[in-house]
Structure 1
Amino acid sequence: MKKLFFTILTVLSSSFIIAQASGNVNYQNQGYYNNNTININFPANDDIVVSVKGLANIKADAYTAIFSVTQTGKTTKEVNDLIDQRITQSLNEIKLKKGVETFVDMISFVPVYEYETEKKLFNRKTYNEMPAGFELKKNIHIKYSNPNQLNEFISILSNNEIYDLVKVDYFSNTLETIKKEMMLKAKLLIQEKIKNYQELLGETFTNAEKRIADDYIVNIPVEMYRSYEAYNGSSLNLKKAANINPLNKSVTLYYQPVFNKEFDFVINPVVLEPVIQIQYEVKIAISREKKQVLKADKTEKEFILVTANGDLKILNTNTARPIH
């Protein structure tokens, strides 16, 4: 099986390995990342909501590739000697590369069991679990800055029967600088939008109550790979029951970045290779000033009654009192 996997691995071209530097972790059953676009919501009301979204595509300046190594053996000494030999021979050659750092991570060291058949006369076969040896797992972490070096690492490691590329992490030293740049761009755009709204409505929001919210999302390439099976299925009209033995279909991976169609501005819009993507959104909710309707003061009217005796009385809807 290892020989077969190595044959498949060596067929891969350099450009394919760089472009698909996500690792075999993506071959697991995975859910699609539908909610990878930033969206800040205010409670629903009658406020005016002004929003600006930004996207930045950042090329990584450092990478960390993780390779998994598994070794089995009859004794603990045999297992340790064999795995150390494979790892040491690989790292001695990898460390000669420029700008490369390595680290070996201990994962697990467990006994391995197998079943031994015991057959007795007039009884069914009995399968007894027996110790068979030990299994040791370690991970090799390789930090590098030139993405083309990944092919060289794979070639070196495969010579020592290390094939399992778990994943590749991407890093950038400019994330904070890009975030500040995005915040400044969003500030200018949202001020322009507010000004346009004021002109359209013919009013000012200077004294209006305002609420603000903003947030960032960072998407790394390992999250953004999709898979599909490329094949054309066939249909059979079988009259009788039959056994159907389907073949395993090849699973293909591809890098799917966040599209820039929903954003007000994009920094570095053209994406050629997997990149780190930063999304920024800021929202301002403006409570419009309600115009107060002034009601005219009601003037109380008085009615004066002259009695037969010549006395004057003031009449109103409630009471009447005489004027002396």
Structure 2
Amino acid sequence: MKNLFYFFSALLISPFMIGQVSGNVNYQNKYQTNNTIDVNFPSHEGIVASVKGLANVKADSYTAIFSTTQTGKTTKEVNELIDQRITKSLTEIKLNKGVETFVDMISFVPVYEYEVEKKVFNRKTYNEVPVGFELKKNIHIKFSDPNQLNDFISILSNYEIYDLVRVDYFSNALETIKKEMMNKAKLLIQEKIKNYELLLGETFANAEKRIADDFVVNLPVEMYNSYEAYNSSSLNLKKSANVNQTNKSTTLYYQPVFNKEFDFIINPAVLEPVIQVQYEVKIFINREKEKKQTAKTDREYILVTPNGDLKPINVNSSKPVY
């Protein structure tokens, strides 16, 4: 009896354990097909040899953009208040080594509100009147150590700057990585073509060939998905029943391109958000054209002379050979 209890307990717990391993994202089936690179060829009869490569490139510099807003009754007040906040925060941020900053002017507009005009025998009239100004600026911070971002957020929050708009990733190694990917793809596609020749027992040396290739670069800011983690109860209620649903927490997570569709991968293990470079090369081999050319070349034409002699004709020449 005790063994049966443990057995059924294991059955009840095991689905929960599997769910924890796969992640809560599977509650809503948020995993989607990756938009991986795909180089298309015109439709022709023949053989297409293709190679796909993926490179995960760690960024060597970052740019974080924070947005700040200031309101006030006069233009002087607005400018003084926002400049004080930005200047003091950037003075602390620049104490970090290798940090560069830039302040981007976004907008400076008047702010309006409605004033009620009361009349004895008429309806209320709402007039829009200016009450102040709103100034928006963005702070750009360039840095090389990703751990510094937490320090920047802490400093800026002390001056009521909370809005982290985005973080851009940059790498100086992209051109080198692209050349490495092209060299790897060249060796692999040559190996594939040789394998096709062995399987078919023929050579493609004289066949018509066409080639196409392309790169796609995916930045981390483009690769975030969202989902809501919850499990709601289903109730059999009347249509007239009032149901008040609570707001669900939305989670964002980094979803890189899966590495399952590629012939080779550079730096396959991904721990942090990275720049992902995809490369694909395709070679189209027109075997039909080669066979027609071979068949035409193998034909022999014989001319019978008036004397009854047989003379071969050179098909590549306009004149017969006597």
Fold in common (TM above 0.5): yes
The equivalent of 2:127 in structure 1 is: 128
Cα distance in 2 for residues equivalent to 1:70 and 1:234: 42
The answer to whether residue 159 in structure 2 is matched with residue 160 in structure 1 is: yes
The equivalent of 2:277 in structure 1 is: 278
The equivalent of 1:269 in structure 2 is: 268
One-letter amino acid matched to 1:104 = V
Cα distance in 1 for residues equivalent to 2:176 and 2:302: 65
Cα distance in 2 for residues equivalent to 1:130 and 1:204: 83
The equivalent of 2:142 in structure 1 is: 143
Residue 296 of structure 1 and its aligned partner are, at CA, apart by 8.4
1:199 aligned counterpart, secondary structure? helix
One-letter amino acid matched to 2:99 = V
Cα distance in 1 for residues equivalent to 2:31 and 2:43: 29
Q: Which runs of 4+ in 1 moved over 4 A?
A: 31-35, 293-300
Cα distance in 1 for residues equivalent to 2:236 and 2:125: 45
The equivalent of 2:189 in structure 1 is: 190
Q: 1:32 to 1:139 in 2, by over 3 A?
A: farther
Residues 56 and 275 of structure 2 are in contact (CA less than 8 Å); yes or no, is this contact kept in structure 1?
Answer: yes
One-letter amino acid matched to 2:257 = V
The equivalent of 1:18 in structure 2 is: none
Cα distance in 2 for residues equivalent to 1:158 and 1:107: 20
Residues 51 and 281 of structure 1 are in contact (CA less than 8 Å); yes or no, is this contact kept in structure 2?
Answer: yes
1:192-211 correspondence to structure 2 within 5 Å: 192-211=191-210
2:291 aligned counterpart, secondary structure? coil
Residue 260 of structure 1 and its aligned partner are, at CA, apart by 0.6
Cα distance in 1 for residues equivalent to 2:211 and 2:197: 18
Percentage identity across aligned positions? 80
Residue 299 of structure 1 and its aligned partner are, at CA, apart by 10
The equivalent of 1:213 in structure 2 is: 212
1:24-173 correspondence to structure 2 within 5 Å: 36-173=35-172
1:262 aligned counterpart, secondary structure? coil
Residue 246 of structure 1 and its aligned partner are, at CA, apart by 2.2
- Aligned residues, how many? 270
Residues 49 and 285 of structure 1 are in contact (CA less than 8 Å); yes or no, is this contact kept in structure 2?
Answer: yes
Cα distance in 1 for residues equivalent to 2:170 and 2:109: 34
Q: Deviations over 1:168-204 (max 9, x none)?
A: 0000010000000000000000000000001111111
One-letter amino acid matched to 1:177 = T
Cα distance in 2 for residues equivalent to 1:33 and 1:107: 36
Cα distance in 1 for residues equivalent to 2:242 and 2:76: 49
Cα distance in 1 for residues equivalent to 2:109 and 2:264: 53
Residue 295 of structure 1 and its aligned partner are, at CA, apart by 7.3
Cα distance in 2 for residues equivalent to 1:175 and 1:105: 28
TM (normalized to structure 1)? 0.79
Residue 231 of structure 1 and its aligned partner are, at CA, apart by 1.1
Residues 40 and 213 of structure 1 are in contact (CA less than 8 Å); yes or no, is this contact kept in structure 2?
Answer: yes
Unaligned runs of 5+ in 2: 1-29, 305-322
1:269 aligned counterpart, secondary structure? coil
Give 1 or 2: higher helix fraction: 2
Q: Deviations over 1:272-318 (max 9, x none)?
A: 00000000000000111225277787999xxxxxxxxxxxxxxxxxx
One-letter amino acid matched to 2:222 = E
TM (normalized to structure 2)? 0.80
Cα distance in 2 for residues equivalent to 1:232 and 1:91: 44
1:88 aligned counterpart, secondary structure? helix
1:87 aligned counterpart, secondary structure? helix
Residue 44 of structure 1 and its aligned partner are, at CA, apart by 1.4
Q: 1:113 to 1:203 in 2, by over 3 A?
A: same
Cα distance in 2 for residues equivalent to 1:297 and 1:149: 82
One-letter amino acid matched to 1:208 = A
